[in-house]
Structure 1
Amino acid sequence: MLNRDFKRNIKIGYVPMLDCASLIIARELGYFQKYDVSVVLSREAGWASVREKLINGELHASHAPASMVFELTCGLGVLKTPSLTGLVTALNGNAITLSNELWDLGVRDARTLKKVIDKFRGKRIFTFAGVLNYSSQHYLMRDWLLSGGIDPERDVRMAIVPPPLVSSNLQKGYLDGYCVAEPWSTNCVQNGRGWVACLTSDFSPYHIEKVFVVTEAFDSRQHEEHLAILRALMDAADFCDKPENREQVAQILAQTQYLDLPIESLKETLVGPFNLGNGRTANADEAIIFSRNDAGRPTAGKASWVLEQIRRHKLDLSNPSLNSDLIASVYREDIYEEAIVGLSSGSQENREQTESLALADRT
C-alpha cells in the first residue's frame, strides 16, 4: 500500500529529448494513474539544473545521465547526496554532429577530421561539446575523437553546452561539433545547420544512456511510491518500443509543453530513416532503445561501463569512494526486481517475454 502520510504529488524532472519519452507517455496515457501515484513533471533547462534541484530537494526524482548517480553519491564536484537508480530509461539515442564548414573542408569521419585539425594546427583551435562533464555524450564525443587519432586534451577544445543550445551554438560558429541525445542532431540537420557523422550506436552499441534517479532519502521515505513510478515507467517504455506506437509517441512528445519541436524531427529517430544530412541516411532500428533487450535492468555491467568511462577520461577527481564496490548500492537491480513483481498481469507477461528474448539473444 502506498504511504499516505507524505505529499502525494511527486515532482519528477526531465530535460526535453527523446530519452525522456517514458515519463511523458506514462503521464499522457495514464500509467501513473494505473499504479495510483500522483506525479508532476518539471521541464528543466539542462542537467546542471536537474542535479542542483535533486540536491536541494526541489525535485524528488528525474530522468538523468547514467553517471549522475555516481556524481551525486560520491560528491564529484557537488554536494554529496547519496542516490540510486532502479531503472534504465534508455540505451543509445545519441549522434555525433559536425558543422557544415567541416563538411566543406572534406571531413567525413574522425580520421579525415584529424587531417583538417593537423592542417590548421597553430592557426585555429576546433571546439567540440558534450552536454555535461559526467555524461555519455562527453565520453562518447571524446571516444569518437580518439578513434581518429585526435587527443581531446591537446588537439581540440572541449566544452559543455546544454542540449537545447548545441544546435544554435554550432550555427553561430561557437562549436565545430558535438555529441547530444536526440532529437538535437536531427533538428540541426533539418534546419541546415550541420550534418551527422555517425550515431553513437554505430561505435558503442547498446551503451547505457539515461536512468531514473532518486535520492536514497526519497526511496527510504517513499519506497512504495518509488516502486509505483517504476512500474508506470516500465509499462510506458514497453509502449514506446513497439514499432506500431512510435508515430504516436512522436506526436505526443512534439507538443508545446514537452519538446516543442516539429514532429518530423522526432520521427526520424523513432520511425526512421535517420537523416544524416548531405543526402545520407541510416537505419533507425537501434537508434534508441527503451525496453527491449532487457534495456531497463540496472545491471552491474551497465554501471561498470559508466565507471570505466569516468576513469578512462580521468574525471574521477581522485575520489576514493568512486569504485566498483559502490555499484550494488547505486545501481539497484533488487529494486527493479521488486517493481516487476507488482506489475499488472498483462504487463508482467509482456515483461517476461521481452526478458526471455533478451536472454536468448545473449546465449
Structure 2
Amino acid sequence: MAGGANQITAGFLPLLDSAVLIVAKELNFAEAEGIDLALVRETSWANIRDRLAVGHFQVAHVLAPMPIACNLGLTPLVVPTIVPMALGLGGNAVTVSNSLWADMADKGARADFDPAMAGRALKAVLADRASKSKPMLRFAVVHPYSGHNYEFRYWLATCGIDSSRDVEIVIVPPPLMLDALAGGTIDGYCVGEPWNTAAALAGKGHIATVKAAIWRSSPEKVLGARARWAEENIDVLSALLRALCGAAEWCGDARNRDDLARILAEKAYVGRPSEWLLPALEGELPDGSGGAKAVTDFFVPFAKAATFPWKSHALWFYSQMVRWGQIKHTAENSLVARETYRPDIYRAALKPLGIALPVANAKVEGALTSATPVGSSGASLVLGPDGFFDGGLFDPDKLDAYIASQAQ
C-alpha cells in the first residue's frame, strides 16, 4: 500500500501521550481501517510544526494550542491546520529541583501535589530569594504555544507570582528537560511524561503539582492535520479517526497497561524504560521523596470524551495567548481559534461506531464538580469532574469578559 492514497505519515514526539497513534499502528487499528500509517519520531515540537507545514507529515501528534497559533499567523510557516481529534486529557506535571523542593518544603509545601499549597510555598521562596538578592529562578516549558506554558503561567498567576517578572521561563525540548534540571541549568519544568517520573525515580527532582490538579479533565495533545490535505482526503482522515478511536479505547483499558508500557518503551517510540511509563498509566506517581501519590485521572485517553475536540478548549488556549501578549484579542482572531477545532469532522467520522458523541461543540469549563451525565448521541456520556484549582469558570460564550478579567 506504500505510496497509495491511504498512506498517512504522522509525526510524533517520544512522550506517553503519543500512545494513541503508536497503538493504532502497532496493534493494527489503522490497518483494519485500510490505512497504511507510517510514524516518524521527532526531537522537538518546532520540528513537528515545520514538517507538518511543509508537507512531510499529513497529520501529527501536536501541542493543542499549536494549530491555533499557526492559523493566527504566529508560526514561521503559516499553513492552515485543523484539529479533528484530541489525543487525551491531562498528562503533564511540574517538577522542581531537589534544592528548590527543600526550600518549598521549608515554606509549607507537601508531597501531595496540591497546586495551591505548592504555589504559596513557591511564592514565599521567591520573596525570600528576592530579599537576599539571589538569582531569579529559571523554569522550562516545551514551547511558547503549549498547554504547558499556559497552565504553568495560570498556576503561578493564581498563586500571586508574576511569570513575566518573578521567574524566568525558557523553552527546552522534552527529552532534554531532565539533563537540564540535573545539571542546574533550570530549577524546574512543566512537561509531559515520562520526564516527571524519570526525575523522581532518578532522585533528581520532586513533582510539585500535576496538570490534573491545576485544571481537571483538561486537554493536552491533539491530532493536527493540514487543512488542505484533510479537505481533499476526508474519507482517509475519517478512517484514521476511527482507527485512533479504537486505539484510544484500548489504551484506556486498565488491563492493557503493562502491554502499553512495553510497546511505548520500544526504541522506535518513547524509547525509555517501562518503569518510567507505568506510574502515569497506573495513576500512581512517585513524588521524589520515596513515596507515590494517587492521581487517578492523570492521563485519560478515552473516557470523558477525551478525544473530542471541544471548541471551548480552543478558546481557552486562545484566551491565554491574549493574556500573555502573544496575540491581540479581536473578533476575527477568536473566530480563527474557534474554527481550528473541528468536532463536525469528528462526529461524522465516528458516528458509525456508536460511541458517545457530545451533542454540544463547547462547554463551560469548570462547571462540573462531580461526574455528570450529559447530552450525547450514540452511547451515554459522563463528563467531569473538571475545573480549575482556584474555582474559576471559563464560559466560551463570555470570552470577552473572561479575557478582560484576567490580569497578567
Query: Fold match, TM over 0.5?
Result: yes
**SS in structure 2 at match of 1:105:** helix
**Shift in alpha-carbon separation, 1:75–1:250, aligned structure 2, 3 A:** same
Displacement of 1:133 in angstroms is 0.1
Structure 2 residue identity aligned to 1:56? V
Residue 168 of structure 2 is aligned to residue 172 of structure 1: no
Aligned to 2:380: 356
Aligned to 1:239: 250
* CA deviation vs aligned residue, 1:40-89 (integer Å, no higher than 9, x gap): 10001010000010111111110111111111112114222111011010
Displacement of 1:328 in angstroms is 4.8
Structure 1 residue identity aligned to 2:93? A
> In structure 1, how many angstroms separate the alpha carbons of the residues matched to 2:384 and 2:222?
24
Kindly indicate whether the alpha-carbon contact (under 8 Å) linking 2:63 and 2:146 is maintained by their aligned counterparts in 1: yes
> In structure 2, how many angstroms separate the alpha carbons of the residues matched to 1:319 and 1:357?
34
Residue 249 of structure 2 is aligned to residue 225 of structure 1: no
Aligned to 2:149: 138
Residue 99 of structure 2 is aligned to residue 86 of structure 1: no
Displacement of 1:168 in angstroms is 0.7
**Shift in alpha-carbon separation, 1:241–1:219, aligned structure 2, 3 A:** same
> In structure 2, how many angstroms separate the alpha carbons of the residues matched to 1:279 and 1:361?
29
Kindly indicate whether the alpha-carbon contact (under 8 Å) linking 1:13 and 1:61 is maintained by their aligned counterparts in 2: yes
> In structure 2, how many angstroms separate the alpha carbons of the residues matched to 1:321 and 1:159?
30
Structure 2 residue identity aligned to 1:26? A
Residue 272 of structure 2 is aligned to residue 274 of structure 1: no
> In structure 2, how many angstroms separate the alpha carbons of the residues matched to 1:354 and 1:7?
30
Displacement of 1:230 in angstroms is 0.7
Residue 200 of structure 2 is aligned to residue 189 of structure 1: yes
Kindly indicate whether the alpha-carbon contact (under 8 Å) linking 1:70 and 1:322 is maintained by their aligned counterparts in 2: no
Aligned to 2:262: 251
Displacement of 1:113 in angstroms is 1.6
**Shift in alpha-carbon separation, 1:200–1:325, aligned structure 2, 3 A:** same
TM-score (norm 2): 0.82
> In structure 2, how many angstroms separate the alpha carbons of the residues matched to 1:291 and 1:275?
24
**Shift in alpha-carbon separation, 1:42–1:321, aligned structure 2, 3 A:** farther
Aligned to 2:304: 293
* CA deviation vs aligned residue, 1:8-46 (integer Å, no higher than 9, x gap): 431100001111100011111100111001111000101
Aligned to 1:29: 27
Equivalent of 1:159, from 167, 170, 177? 170
**Shift in alpha-carbon separation, 1:301–1:192, aligned structure 2, 3 A:** same
Structure 1 residue identity aligned to 2:341? Y
**SS in structure 2 at match of 1:264:** helix
Q: Alignment identity in percent? A: 33
**Uncovered stretches (5+) of structure 2, i.e. residues with no partner:** 110-117, 358-375, 387-408
**Uncovered stretches (5+) of structure 1, i.e. residues with no partner:** none
Query: Which range moves more in the overlay, 39-48 or 142-151?
Result: 142-151
Structure with the greater relative contact order (CA < 8 A, sep ≥ 6): 1 or 2?
Answer: 1
Displacement of 1:179 in angstroms is 0.5
Displacement of 1:5 in angstroms is 9.5
TM-score (norm 1): 0.92
Matched residues, number:
355
Aligned to 2:361: none
Displacement of 1:320 in angstroms is 5.1
**SS in structure 1 at match of 2:212:** helix
> In structure 2, how many angstroms separate the alpha carbons of the residues matched to 1:197 and 1:63?
26
Q: Cα RMSD (Å) of the superposition?
A: 2.3
**SS in structure 2 at match of 1:235:** helix
**Shift in alpha-carbon separation, 1:272–1:354, aligned structure 2, 3 A:** farther
**Shift in alpha-carbon separation, 1:7–1:144, aligned structure 2, 3 A:** same
Displacement of 1:6 in angstroms is 5.5
Equivalent of 1:123, from 134, 150, 154? 134
Aligned to 2:46: 48
**Shift in alpha-carbon separation, 1:220–1:44, aligned structure 2, 3 A:** same
Kindly indicate whether the alpha-carbon contact (under 8 Å) linking 2:314 and 2:338 is maintained by their aligned counterparts in 1: no
**Shift in alpha-carbon separation, 1:321–1:38, aligned structure 2, 3 A:** farther
* CA deviation vs aligned residue, 1:167-199 (integer Å, no higher than 9, x gap): 110000011011001111001111111010011
Query: Which range moves more in the overlay, 6-15 or 223-232?
Result: 6-15
**SS in structure 2 at match of 1:128:** strand
> In structure 2, how many angstroms separate the alpha carbons of the residues matched to 1:321 and 1:254?
45
Displacement of 1:218 in angstroms is 0.9
